Structure 1
């Protein structure tokens, strides 16, 4: 489908076949992201980040760095204890609420969990006051990035702040800048004092910026914008997916009981499930896949043509924006039986194993919650273990009491959150509760 959003020419792909055509068969023509928006320019320090950088030498260098060092297996293994500690903190908070018979906003607790994990892995933030600053910056950034700004789409309004976005964007940028300046200064002082400290992602970026032989010379704006990318891309998306998963389980008690049976059989009740257990929990993996099918955190995969291209006989000019509708593709009856039903069994084979021919890593276009191709989400290796282990731990440890059936209405935004908070009383289902 072709349409105009104001002055911007756009193409929308809403089937797996169309997504394959654009993201695989014509990938080289759709390797850029549209960056000419007021929010992106302000929050990426003038397009100096990785997420919106044009496909080229700098982007390839940062992608290689992400996969090998920043978000690679060694870094994830090195910072495993961070995820474990924050998950324990999260479970302890739910346990205290449950023992007191108090209701909790599960979505809010999950946002705190994912934000703390990513903040600590990125820049070792453990101070409670500054954790709240990071959460507020991320929340404001996601909100502003997801709003429709007339000035971005009507050429005669370019440069005019008709909706007052620019003022708010500058205020968010100032807050984030002040926080990162403090954090970077602390990291640099720590580096001078000791050479044997545990490294986080910011440490690696600072080392590369000081390396005279590095393939690309990173400046402070590159580093700050990359940190912003990770915080914004990883916090709400992960939390929202976990909240949708738990809402679906609460409304589908048959699935919940089956998940509990699996976790109880494999893990028992004397310890809490860990990331290393996930390979032995195929039904938990299937629940996560089914959640990502019905509720992709990023419903639209956005690209932009770098040059004129012909796709399926249609002439698409340069600078046309492409929206791949992952939300619609995941609900397409041509590929999914009873597509609106929450049925994790569709990802389990006759032997009880997770099916291998429907993965979420961008090769099967019926299911592309993380995108596909060279510009798919590089944080998938961090997101999936956190999703699986947290979901399994909630299922194992708590019975979530709610009033009636949960409303599954969605709210618009850059991600697709629930329209109504998931308020529940988390009652422990393990007595005594395992040590955490």
Structure 2
């Protein structure tokens, strides 16, 4: 028996001695897939050490060395980084269906009822139905235009609050309150927004922005739940989730008791629209909306209606204050179009071409989400001669594409004139300019956000003279670190009522 045991041990050792070199030889001879260029990676963490506090800038710098189609291993996750219009077109148009899905990310999974929303749900029948509900019933051109009175009243309140501040104003906080108030009114209706409710919404939106804009370790090491012991992410998500959930429950029950509310002048708010779809047996949407589906969609509307609008307005105003020549050109255009009127309405905006060029240039230089929400490949495919495996995450560096010197002259300068007399637009067809993405997963709230920005920006320019408190050379134009990029420092500026504009009545 002892001899047999010794023989077995010796045999095991011999097998190991032979098999290990054979395994290493086979590994060295196995042809690796022809992946896109990639930096050297470290064990376990892959390329995570190359990602700095501002991921879009880190990836931009890496793309200069490894090219506009770059393969990274972020922890355990294979990731394709796209930094040129040509490859963006491949992802968003040529192979749009292949790359139309989303990975399962921790924050939306826990915060949005299993990602049952339009932004983060995987590609498939449920996503198609939710997108139809959102685009047809919540964000259609007709419905967005119907909220005109909400926008005009909100802008008037914002202008009056700046007048009341008299002098140095915290424009960042004012713009944040403005954008939150609009989405809150069209979501819940005016009657639901009691003072305590408004304060709750501000706190929830603020934390929501922080959670959604973070690069979380749990998304780089899926299934490693022990990481939460160090990050505390689940606790933060749970607290925010319960805050939103209770708010939405109150709003839905309030609307059911009231048997329908209106935003203003007879137009229904988002909660009523969704309740109507849920209860209408004749709806043609062919989808059963659960209470959780409704709440996930409503939270999506808050994200779409706050982050983009606030960040875009903040950067547009900062660039205009930093570039007084552009500010003066915008003022002159507005004065010519207004012809003595004090309050700008949405009909006037249609004639303000330079104002719209300012907004496009602000989107190019400071896209609110400089990196796209990750796409995920649904099958193996090829881009040029490179293999892209299924379940690869795809990140489009929108910030880098907007600074591509092959398409943009002096890309680091704020020059709205570059958008005058050309057809470049942000609707996903011009791949050198995709601040809202493109293809099937393009942001559905473009019109909702842009019309808010246009009206607010025109009135801010028209009603006040703006100055930086000290010299312009001291103006901090740096970005906050993260996946969304508001200004790092609050926009504290001097606002003096314009002598050319009469006081608002």
TM class by shorter chain equals over 0.9
Per the alignment, residue 397 of structure 1 pairs with 463
Q: How far off is 1:218 after superposition?
A: 0.2
Q: How big is the alpha-carbon RMSD for the aligned residues of Structure 1 and Structure 2?
A: 1.7
Per the alignment, residue 114 of structure 2 pairs with 46
Which of the residues 440, 449, 452 maps onto 1:374?
Answer: 440
Q: How far off is 1:202 after superposition?
A: 1.3
Per the alignment, residue 477 of structure 2 pairs with 408
Q: Is the 8 A contact 1:142 1:414 kept in 2?
A: no
The 3 A distance-change label for structure 1 pair 274 and 193 is closer
Matched residue SS, 2:479: coil
Q: Give the TM-score normalised by structure 2.
A: 0.81
Tell whether 2:124 aligns with 1:56: yes
Q: Work out the CA distance in 2 between the residues paired with 1:337 and 1:198.
A: 45
Tell whether 2:460 aligns with 1:388: no
Q: Work out the CA distance in 2 between the residues paired with 1:240 and 1:117.
A: 15
* Unaligned residue ranges in structure 1 (runs of 5+): 350-354
Q: How far off is 1:370 after superposition?
A: 0.7
Per the alignment, residue 361 of structure 2 pairs with 290
Per the alignment, residue 307 of structure 1 pairs with 379
Q: Give the TM-score normalised by structure 1.
A: 0.94
Which residues of 2 match residues 24-423 of structure 1 at below 5 A? 24-34=93-103, 36-98=104-166, 101=167, 103-124=168-189, 125-155=192-222, 157-158=224-225, 160-162=227-229, 163-191=231-259, 198-214=267-283, 215-301=286-372, 302-349=374-421, 355-356=422-423, 358-402=424-468, 403-405=470-472, 406-423=475-492
Q: Work out the CA distance in 2 between the residues paired with 1:54 and 1:292.
A: 27
* Unaligned residue ranges in structure 2 (runs of 5+): 1-69
Matched residue SS, 2:350: helix
Q: How far off is 1:267 after superposition?
A: 0.8
Q: How far off is 1:21 after superposition?
A: 1.0
Matched residue SS, 1:427: strand
Q: Work out the CA distance in 2 between the residues paired with 1:385 and 1:192.
A: 26
Q: Work out the CA distance in 2 between the residues paired with 1:69 and 1:258.
A: 38
Matched residue SS, 1:161: helix
Looking at both structures, which has the greater relative contact order when contacts are Cα pairs under 8 Å and sequence separation is at least 6?
A: 1
**Greater gyration radius:** 2
Q: Work out the CA distance in 2 between the residues paired with 1:160 and 1:256.
A: 48
* Farther off after superposition, 83-92 or 69-78: 69-78
Q: Work out the CA distance in 2 between the residues paired with 1:204 and 1:287.
A: 34
Per the alignment, residue 425 of structure 1 pairs with 494
Q: Is the 8 A contact 2:92 2:440 kept in 1?
A: no
Deviations 1:80-130 (A, max 9, x none): 1111111111011011112xx3x2211111111011101111111432221
Matched residue SS, 1:104: strand
The 3 A distance-change label for structure 1 pair 9 and 372 is same
Q: Work out the CA distance in 2 between the residues paired with 1:145 and 1:5.
A: 18
Matched residue SS, 1:239: helix
Tell whether 2:92 aligns with 1:23: yes
Matched residue SS, 1:413: coil
Q: Work out the CA distance in 2 between the residues paired with 1:156 and 1:348.
A: 50
Q: How far off is 1:401 after superposition?
A: 2.5
Q: Is the 8 A contact 2:112 2:296 kept in 1?
A: yes
Q: Is the 8 A contact 1:152 1:158 kept in 2?
A: no
Q: Work out the CA distance in 2 between the residues paired with 1:8 and 1:347.
A: 38
